Amino acid sequence: MKSVSAIIPYYEGRDQLRGLFHALSAMTIPAGTELEVVIADDGSDLPTDPTTWTHSKLKVKSVRQDHLGQSAATNLAVRTAEGNFIWLLAQDIRPKSNALTELLKRSGEFPGALVQGMICHDESLYSDPFTRYIAQKSGFQFAYGLIGNDDWLPPVFHYAPHALIERERFLQLDGYDEALPYGYQDTDFALRMIRDGGRLVLARQSEVIHCHAFEVWTYALRLKRLGGEL
């Protein structure tokens, strides 16, 4: 029996959680696999609402911390989880029906590896020209087209919103570095894993939808903040 804990660092946005649970409930769970969901609320003004997931019939745990950042929330959720594997997700992600099945399949081919899934953008948001540019044309987000070998990914291709790894391995490497600004924590973790003898592989058939629009000034401020913290 395999046990998987879906890890959801959460900050505000109750409506996004509803969409996530709808997608999780519609997934195919591989035979012999148990799935739990762990939500770590990063100090939202409005805490998570249990009625968001009661209809899903999934096993759900919800924990809460002060506003310490997404990496800290992820680490808290992983420490709370009971699964042998953790499936790193996010509140604005919508897994397709076979997303978990394909991750586990690749994990079986490469035991001990971090398995990275494919993150596709919600094309209904492409009516906004800037979102379309960032998501589809710029290469700034999820640049899978640059991958040369799906069996050996460089660390830059670890994207936190959709990846599978053994829980004990994640904890052994001390999880995500909470001192780093958001946007660097996943690459940093992948670097440490590779230096420790691990590897990253891609599961191209495992897809999730990223339901996130981009605004010009918000995106510009994000880049300025990230650059200033280097």
From the CA atom positions of the chain, what is the Rg in Å?
17
Among 180-189, 197-206, 219-228, which stretch is predicted with the lowest mean pLDDT? 219-228
Among 72-76, 82-86, 135-139, 191-195, which stretch is predicted with the lowest mean pLDDT? 135-139
CATH number of the domain enclosing 156: 3.90.550.10
What pTM does this model have?
0.89
Q: What is the model's pLDDT at position 55?
A: 86
Give the whole-angstrom CA distance, residue 210 versus residue 192.
26
Residue 65 gets the label, from left (phi > 0), alpha (psi -120 to 50) or beta, of beta
Q: What is the model's pLDDT at position 144?
A: 86
Kindly report, residue by residue over 84-113, the tens digit of the pLDDT.
999 999 999 999 999 999 999 999 999 999
pLDDT at 140 over 80: no
Total structural domains in the chain? 1
Q: What is the model's pLDDT at position 8?
A: 97
**What is the edge-to-edge ordering of all strands in the sheet holding 163-166?**
59-65, 33-42, 2-10, 85-88, 163-166, 114-121, 200-210, 93-95
Domain that holds residue 168: 2-228
List the beta bridge partners of residue 60.
37
Mean of pLDDT over the chain: 89
Mean per-residue pLDDT for 155-181? 96
Residue 84's SS3 state is coil
Query: Cβ(117)–Cβ(206) under 8 Å?
Result: yes
pLDDT bracket for residue 209 (50, 70, 90) = very high
